[in-house]
Amino acid sequence: MSTVAPDRTPQPRDPSSGPGGAAAPAAAPVKQRAWKYPVVYSVLALASLLVFGLLAGGGKQTTFTFASRNDFFTIPPLPVPSKATCVALGLVLVVLAAVSIWATFTRRRLGVWFPLLFGIVFVFAFLTWSAAGAGRMPVTALLAGALALSVPLIFGAMCGLVGERSGIINIAIEGQLLAGAFLAAVVASALQNPYAGLFAAPIAGALVAVVLTFFAVRYWVDQIIIGVVLNVLVVGVTSFLFSTVLTQDPATWNARQQLPNLPIPLLSDIPVIGPVLFNQNILVYLMYVVVVALQIFIFRSKWGLRMRAIGEHPKAADTVGINVNRNRVLNTLLAGAIAGLGGAFFTIGSGLAFGKEMSAGQGYIALAAMILGKWNPMGALFAALLFGFSKNLANVLSAIGTPVPSQLLLMLPYVVTVLAVAGFVGRVRAPAAEGKPYISQ
Amino acid sequence: MKLELSGITKRFGPLVANRDIDLVVEPGEIHALLGENGAGKSTLMNVIYGLYRPDGGQILIDDRPVTFSGPGDAVAAGIGMVHQHFMLVPVFTVAESLALGYEPTKGMGLLDLASARETVRTISERFGFDIDPDAIIEDLPVGAQQRVEIIKALSRDAEILILDEPTAVLTPQETDELIEIMKQLREQGTSIVFITHKLREVRAVADKITVIRRGAVVGEASPESSESELAGLMVGRDVHLTTDKEPARPQDETFSVEGLTVLDKAGFVVVDDLSFGVRQGEILAVAGVQGNGQTELAEAIIGLREPHSGTISLDGRRLGGDSVKARLASGIGFVPEDRSSDGVIAGFSIRENMILDQYDRPPYASGLALKPAVIREKALEKVEEFDIRLTSIDDPISTLSGGNQQKVVLSRELGRELSLLVASQPTRGLDVGSIEFVHKRIIAERDAGTPCIIVSTELDEVLNLADRIAVMYRGRIVGIVPADTPRDALGLMMAGVPEDEALARVADGSAVTTVSQAAEGDLP
């Protein structure tokens, strides 16, 4: 997310490549300065300084609380004067915006840290201002809820990027999440064991992927269309079974089962983030493993190299003896299983019974997280956390009572999604061959 | 290793791409396979490389018959191939490209990239290539990408290397370097099959030449044969490689470009502050390697791209914000670079394709209605005039060969009074016979007093047509030189060397290339 797009050597050859090129003029085409980012930063900084700081009423306090369930190490609540804090944070933002303008002038690149820092300061200013009336801002609960809302998104985004890096566009993540949630709930309930549901969920996700790849790879059907159709199909099938079988005998087929929390010793005692990250059920720990493993294996293993090759230039892979379609099918099935696991979080991961259409569009937000994360596991992880955070922020703010109307707050995650996908990603580049069926002679 | 093909036949439906082909490649030999586009050279090579299965015949390696069920088998048998369109993943590093398909691993399926880097370095050193194993493919110049492909083949112990049209994307200087590499490989015992339709290069490097026409071997030739002999074999009749033309009689300068700058979608400057003029009755050829801004220049003139700054004037009037349609109406004829995507509509009939830009005006239309009888009559006239070979003007244009499709495009663009002709790559993918015809028509248009801009990456075409030559490099014009400028100087300018220096270097003999030496003296 640098403010200046990376310098690029375009098509024309490097002057040093030819024997006569030594004295060639270095007439490399230059990028025009990009003013999009400094403008956005400046507007946000000034708005924050004015609205949150100078124009807000004085004399109020905001208290950040850090309560958690264990008392091993407790941070006392932190009260700050609302207006003064907001003005100070607003000034910091103005300085940051100035840095960004300076960087654009001097054609310097700012790292990923810059938008992150700007975002964090901005969010703090916003929190301080919006909790000014109510008084208390529960930081730990805010973060814990954000993680919980992010888990299905993260699994979904991992599913999307494994598929797309192999060249198969997977719009059916939504359906795979829902199928995973359904089968996990039913199997866990029937066997009265939440862990049984954990094994069933990936199978449900992979089954949806079987249909997807069958039509995409065998019959070259447009992948976006099959994806959308599959989503509707899964909604139909699960709703039908829900209203017939599940509602007739909920005790057998749709009883609540919950994966127990398994606190990790020591780590879960770290203040604030300990209970958020390390006092979770096995599904969350699996998510950590999946993200880290994908990050390593996509970029540094034989499997990942082949996956990226068939998603970027399948013919090149074919000429070195890689079976493109077989690899695409296997990777997409694996991706489906990952999404299925994510779906399990809706039911057995949260201790809820299955409900109609309970995935509620999260599969599409997962796709946005994948794009915002530039098809990188770690990037998608942070993007999904951002979406989860903004959604939970809306929940928390409407609970504590803020000056912002609740309808606007409900829009927050989607506004963040649209802004993020539209402009803040910088130059995104999807795998070159995604969505194109590979047909060999 | 000796490679022998005996009676290879390959069909695609009713089309016979290769008919009963016999070919022997001896160890340590550079064997050129010469033929026009569509003659079946690439099909044959894909058969050898295991990408296509032959419908008849046999491949023998060291006199033993082999069958390949995929490229993997061919590689294992010691055959390497450098495809015309490189088989490299643009976002990979050189080392990753080398590893793909033959990955060295170190447990858990993790890549051992260190060993791949080492292989790149070892082979680079052996042949004096300067390739960084950690460079990203898309950042490398085309010539270096080709070397990566060669390293890939050699790292798999290829004893026979197939090079499919390797010089199509190279500057003349890079072509010379490639020829040196080929000779070096031959000395080390590697056989090379060199596929091309460029006569000059064949004569510079080949030990043996096999000529293919319409899918069948039509003869062998020695590198001593003259270019017109080879061309005759390739086409099947006598051809004139150069077009006779009168000296230009240029009149007023009616078209000019001032300070034109064009940006691409990402905001990079692709045409950089260009200024030039073209006079009536003159051909200005824009030479340069593909991707140096020529496409964007042509598109800016016709209005497909909005310039960032600068002006384009025709007949004393600024074109400014005129739409493409208005520009066509003011008499600009435009032959696009990519015929199949921009020049014709594949599913439309030939007569419909002939009026794509004039369908709504007399004589083809009155008011809202088309006049089918007029359209038909004019189409038949054009077919006659442009010698278009077809069964019926009602057939879809996709049924025609590339050469005939291009004649349809030309008949449309040249079939009315023009104030400017812009033709990009007017003969790309055409056979020698059609090239001759297209060149004659363009010269006829010039003689009728139209200013002409011809964009071409083929130096032969530029030299054949041009009255003046503008050489483009990285979006700028390196120099505008007369048509009799030495080929070597143009080659240097295409690599970015300024005009004066290029001429000086050629004059003192330090830049005479292999290819032009080989070609000296016997141009027909």
pLDDT in tens, A285-317: 999 999 999 999 999 999 999 999 999 999 999
What is the rounded CA–CA span in Å between residue B230 and residue B225? 7
Per-residue pLDDT band for A6 (boundaries 50, 70, 90) equals: very low
Q: Which domains does chain B have, with CATH numbers?
A: 3-235 (3.40.50.300), 253-331+417-484 (3.40.50.300), 348-415 (no CATH)
C-alpha to C-alpha distance for B51 and A315, rounded to whole angstroms:
10
A30 chain-B contacts, CB cut-off 8 A = 268-269
pLDDT at residue A282, as a whole number: 93
Closest-CA distance of chain B to residue A136, Å: 47
Band the pLDDT of B297: cuts 50, 70, 90: very high
What pLDDT, on a 0 to 100 scale, did the predictor assign at position A106? 83
Compare all CA atoms of chain A with the CA of B492 and give the residue at the minimum distance.
Answer: A20
Give pLDDT, residue B34.
87
Which chain B residues in 463-482 lie under 8 Å from chain A, judged by CB atoms?
473-476
pLDDT band, very low/low/confident/very high, at B117 (cuts 50, 70, 90): very high
The H or E element containing residue B436 is helix B432-447
A309 touching B, CB under 8 A? yes
Interface of B with A in 187-246 (CB under 8 A): none
A267-276, B327-336, B429-438, B514-523: which is most confident: B327-336
Contact (CB<8Å) B495/A32? no
Work out whether strand A136-138 and strand A61-65 pair parallel, antiparallel, or are unpaired. Answer: parallel
Burial of A150 (0-12, 13-18, 19+ CB in 10 A): buried
Cα gap A281→A287, rounded to integer Å: 10
Nearest to B111 among A24, A30, A300 (CB): A300
List domains and CATH numbers for chain A. Answer: 36-135 (no CATH), 140-388 (1.10.3470)
A179 and A340 in contact (C-beta within 8 Å)?
A: yes
Q: What is the pLDDT of residues A161-192, one digit of tens each?
A: 999 999 999 999 999 999 999 999 999 999 99
Using only C-alpha atoms, chain A has a radius of gyration, in whole angstroms, of: 24
Q: What is the pLDDT of residues B212-254, one digit of tens each?
A: 888 889 888 888 888 778 888 887 777 666 777 888 888 889 9
Which amino acid, A34? A
Inter-chain CB proximity B290 and A432 less than 8 Å: no
**What 3-state DSSP class applies to B192?**
strand
Sheet bearing B56-61, strands edge to edge: B15-25, B3-12, B56-61, B64-66
Confidence bin at B470 (pLDDT 50/70/90):
very high
Q: What is the mean pLDDT of residues A198-221?
A: 95
| B18, β-bridge pairs | B10
Residue A4: pLDDT band (50, 70, 90) is very low
Over 50: is that where the pLDDT of B99 sits? yes
Answer whether B174 touches A (CB < 8 Å).
yes
Q: Which among A32, A322, A432 is the nearest to B101, CB-wise?
A: A322
Task: Please name the member of A8, A24, A34 whose beta carbon is closest to the beta carbon of B496.
Answer: A24
Confidence of residue B510 (pLDDT cuts 50, 70, 90): low
**Residues of chain A contacting B498 with CB distance shorter than 8 Å:** 23, 25
Q: How far is CA A129 from CA A56, A126, B353, in A?
A: 8, 5, 66
pTM score, whole prediction: 0.77
On whether any CB of chain A is under 8 Å from the CB of B422, the answer is: no
Q: Touching check for B92 and chain A: CB below 8 Å? A: yes
Q: What is the rounded distance in angstroms from the CA atom of residue A32 to the CA atom of residue B263? A: 9
Specify which residues B213 forms β-bridges with. B216
Q: Say how far residue B89 (Cα) sits from the centre of its chain.
A: 22
Confirm if B86 and B93 have CB atoms less than 8 A apart.
no
Query: Is A376 within 8 Å of chain B by CB?
Result: no
Strand (E) or helix (H) holding A225: helix A223-241
Report residue A103's pLDDT band, with 50, 70 and 90 as the boundaries: confident
Nearest CB to B71 within list A10, A305, A320: A320
Distance between CA atoms of residues A92 and A46, nearest Å: 11
Give dist(CA A253, CA A255) in Å, integer.
6
Whole-number mean pLDDT of chain A? 84
pLDDT (0 to 100) of residue B17:
85
Q: Which of B44, B45, B55, B89 to mutate against chain A (most A CBs within 10 Å)?
A: B89
Mutual orientation of helices A82-105 and A113-130 as an angle, nearest 10°? 160
Among A12, A312, A315, beta carbon nearest to B91: A312
Chain A residues closer than 8 Å to B492 by CB: 20
C-beta atoms of A9 and B139 within 8 A: yes
Which of B51, B91, B139, B169 to substitute to test the interface with A, most A CBs within 10 Å? Answer: B91
Instruction: Flag the least confident range among A77-86, A168-177, B373-382, B489-498.
Output: A77-86
Mutate to test the interface with A, among B100, B162, B261, B274 (most CBs of A within 10 A): B100
For residue B257, the distance in angstroms to the closest alpha carbon of chain A comes to 20
Chain B residue numbers touching A305 (CB-CB < 8 A): 92, 96, 99-100, 103, 111
Query: H/E element holding B424?
Result: strand B420-424
Mean of per-residue pLDDT scores for chain B: 87
- Give the pLDDT of residue B71: 85
Residues of A in contact with B95 (CB under 8 A): none
Smallest CA–CA separation between A120 and chain B, in Å? 29
Å between B101 CA and nearest CA of chain A: 5
Identify which of A20, A296, A302 has the shortest CB distance to residue B497: A20
Question: Which token pair is A328?
Answer: 């695409």
Instruction: Confirm or reject contact between A301 and chain B (CB < 8 A).
Output: yes
Phi-psi region of B279 (alpha: psi -120 to 50; beta: other; left: phi over 0): beta
Among partner residues A11, A15, A29, which is closest to B272 by beta-carbon distance? Answer: A29
In this predicted structure, the answer to whether residue A425 has a pLDDT above a threshold of 80 is no
Instruction: Compute the distance between CA of residue B347 and CA of residue B367 in angstroms, rounded to an integer.
Output: 26
Task: Give the distance from residue B86's alpha carbon to the nearest chain A alpha carbon, in angstroms.
Answer: 8
A55 burial via Cβ count (<10 Å: 0-12, 13-18, 19+)? exposed
Which DSSP helix (H) or strand (E) runs through B217?
A: strand B216-221
pLDDT of residue A29: 46
- Tell me how close the Cα of B325 comes to any Cα of chain A, in angstroms: 30
